[in-house]
């Protein structure tokens, strides 16, 4: 398979130290020596999450973590408020419905943030809610939602908040404890800069109290956080989780986290801001228009409106075939209307950013638009 520079919204191109960690020998997923490395990795993640909450490394994609959260904070037939301003917000509702939950879907226009005044009004008027769920970085548009403010509103009514931080954790500050985020889900393969396969999830005291007060949910075993909590206690010294773990992935994640924290979280975030500002400024000068206004745009991807002179597919195909660069198109009803450029991991480097911008210039020039 041909190698491409990945400038998609994830997964990301990994750094050499991560690749080397992935290529090491197989090791057992249990025993004192391994558990020490595992617990060190959990501790590093807690620093990135900025939390003292319990944290587990689920095996699977970020969706596994969302299943675990939505499937266990409410019983079948109970109501949850889903805040959506894009494809992945709507997916939270799809997951909740799969567990028989009654979804109260509060929708906002794509490309605009979740409005906290509207959320406050809905929380005041809607009775019987059990939880609130929201996407932090809606990658279908590049929108960053105000989850800290949303959590504060939910907590006024003692409702737990589930945050999909799949595409934000490690790329922008998500101070879990400061904001009181009850359940936070992310993945290794975006801003934590490692391959897919691990979905970290943090769970706070309010969420545990809700789950402990809802016995008999019958929403699974492996993706039940109570299962993970039990193994973390009963098998703590040799196997503090209920399943086989992908040891290479976790060793690679540990290496990446060590590098990120050695760099400093603020410095790590800053590299993404620099990359985003450059991509957006140059694309603007080329005649492109951003889909999300600057004050609400997440610095981890750039969503760009299509131009009438050519199809988005023509641009993405040209970059892939002529320059070995992959970018993302629009999803669902935004297909053909926008393209999305990821600048996470190695894609935030000058090498990748310059290669992408040069490739777009080449595309425009060949069409007489440069």
- State whether 85 and 178 are in the same domain: yes
Asked if the model's pLDDT at residue 350 lies above 90, the reply is yes
Among 260, 279, 298, the domain boundary falls at 260
Among 260, 289, 312, the domain boundary falls at 260
- The per-residue pLDDT for range 110-134, each reduced to its tens digit, is 999 999 999 999 999 999 999 999 9
Strands 338-342 and 79-84: unpaired
* Closest by Cα among 96, 89, 132, 133 to 112: 89
- State whether 297 and 323 are in the same domain: yes
In percent, the amount of the chain with pLDDT more than 90 equals 96
> What is the structure's pLDDT at 293?
84
- State whether 46 and 166 are in the same domain: yes
- What torsion do the CA atoms of 236, 237, 240, 243 make, to the nearest 10 degrees? -140
Both tokens of residue 266? 């603020």
Q: How many domains does the chain have?
A: 2
- The per-residue pLDDT for range 176-198, each reduced to its tens digit, is 999 999 999 999 999 999 999 99
The arithmetic mean of pLDDT across residues 337-343, rounded, is 98
Strand blocks (E) in 91-197? 102-107, 129-135, 137-138, 143-144, 161-164, 183-185
- The per-residue pLDDT for range 60-115, each reduced to its tens digit, is 999 999 999 999 999 999 999 999 999 999 999 999 999 999 999 999 999 999 99
- Owner of token pair 């991807």: 301
> What is the structure's pLDDT at 218?
67
Rounded to whole angstroms, what are the CA distances from 216 to 72, 73, 74, 212, 226?
A: 10, 12, 11, 10, 12
- State whether 248 and 278 are in the same domain: no
Asked if the model's pLDDT at residue 359 lies above 90, the reply is yes
Rounded to whole angstroms, what are the CA distances from 76 to 36, 102, 221?
A: 38, 8, 16
Name, in order, each residue with C-beta under 8 angstroms of 125's C-beta and a sequence gap of 6 or more.
none
- State whether 242 and 316 are in the same domain: no
pLDDT class for 266, splitting at 50, 70, 90? very high
- State whether 167 and 79 are in the same domain: yes
The arithmetic mean of pLDDT across residues 135-157, rounded, is 98
- State whether 285 and 306 are in the same domain: yes
- State whether 79 and 129 are in the same domain: yes
Mean model confidence pLDDT for the chain: 97
Among 218, 240, 260, the domain boundary falls at 260
DSSP for 44-66, please give it: HHHHHHT--SEEEEEES-HHHHH
- State whether 240 and 278 are in the same domain: no
Least confident of 6-10, 75-79, 215-219, 239-243: 215-219
- State whether 186 and 287 are in the same domain: no
Rounded to whole angstroms, what are the CA distances from 100 to 23, 71, 76, 95?
A: 42, 9, 5, 9
DSSP for 229-255, please give it: HHHHHHTTTT--SSS---HHHHHHHHH
- State whether 327 and 240 are in the same domain: no
CATH of the domain at 360: 3.90.1150.10
CATH of the domain at 181: 3.40.640.10
- State whether 277 and 338 are in the same domain: yes
User: When comparing pLDDT for 217 and 340, which is higher?
Assistant: 340
What is the domain range of residue 337? 5-11+264-366
Instruction: Work out the number of other CB atoms within 10 angstroms of the CB of residue 287.
Output: 11
């Amino acid at each position: 398979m041909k190698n491409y520079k990945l400038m998609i919204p994830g997964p990301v191109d990994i750094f050499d130290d991560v690749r080397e960690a992935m290529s090491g020998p197989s090791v057992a997923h249990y025993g004192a020596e391994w558990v020490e490395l595992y617990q060190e990795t959990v501790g590093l993640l807690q620093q990135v999450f900025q939390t003292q909450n319990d944290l587990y490394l689920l095996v699977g994609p970020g969706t596994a973590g969302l299943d675990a959260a939505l499937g266990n904070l409410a019983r079948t037939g109970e109501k949850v408020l889903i805040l959506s301003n894009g494809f992945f917000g709507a997916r939270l509702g799809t997951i909740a419905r799969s567990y028989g939950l009654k979804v109260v879907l509060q929708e906002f226009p794509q490309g605009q943030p979740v409005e906290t005044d509207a959320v406050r009004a809905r929380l005041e008027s809607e009775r019987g809610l059990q939880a609130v769920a929201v996407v932090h970085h809606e990658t279908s548009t590049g929108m960053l939602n105000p989850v800290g403010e949303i959590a504060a509103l939910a907590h006024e009514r003692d409702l737990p908040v589930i945050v999909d931080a799949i595409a934000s954790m490690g790329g922008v500050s998500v101070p879990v404890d400061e904001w009181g985020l009850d359940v936070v889900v992310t993945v290794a393969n975006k801003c934590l800069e490692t391959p897919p396969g691990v979905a970290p999830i943090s769970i706070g005291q309010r969420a545990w109290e809700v789950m402990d007060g809802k016995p008999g949910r019958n929403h699974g075993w492996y993706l039940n956080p109570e299962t993970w909590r039990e193994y973390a206690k009963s098998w703590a010294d040799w196997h503090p989780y209920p399943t086989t773990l992908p040891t290479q992935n976790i060793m690679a994640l540990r290496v990446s986290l060590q590098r990120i924290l050695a760099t400093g979280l603020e410095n790590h975030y800053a590299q993404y801001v620099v990359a985003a500002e450059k991509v957006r400024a140059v694309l603007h000068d080329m005649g492109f228009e951003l889909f999300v206004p600057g004050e609400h745009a997440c610095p981890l991807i750039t969503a760009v409106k299509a131009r009438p002179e050519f199809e988005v597919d023509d641009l993405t195909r040209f970059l892939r075939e002529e320059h070995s660069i992959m970018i993302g198109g629009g999803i669902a009803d935004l297909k053909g209307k926008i393209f999305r450029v990821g600048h996470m991991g190695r894609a935030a480097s000058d090498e990748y950013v310059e290669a992408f911008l040069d490739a777009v210039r080449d595309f425009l020039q060949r069409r007489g638009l440069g």
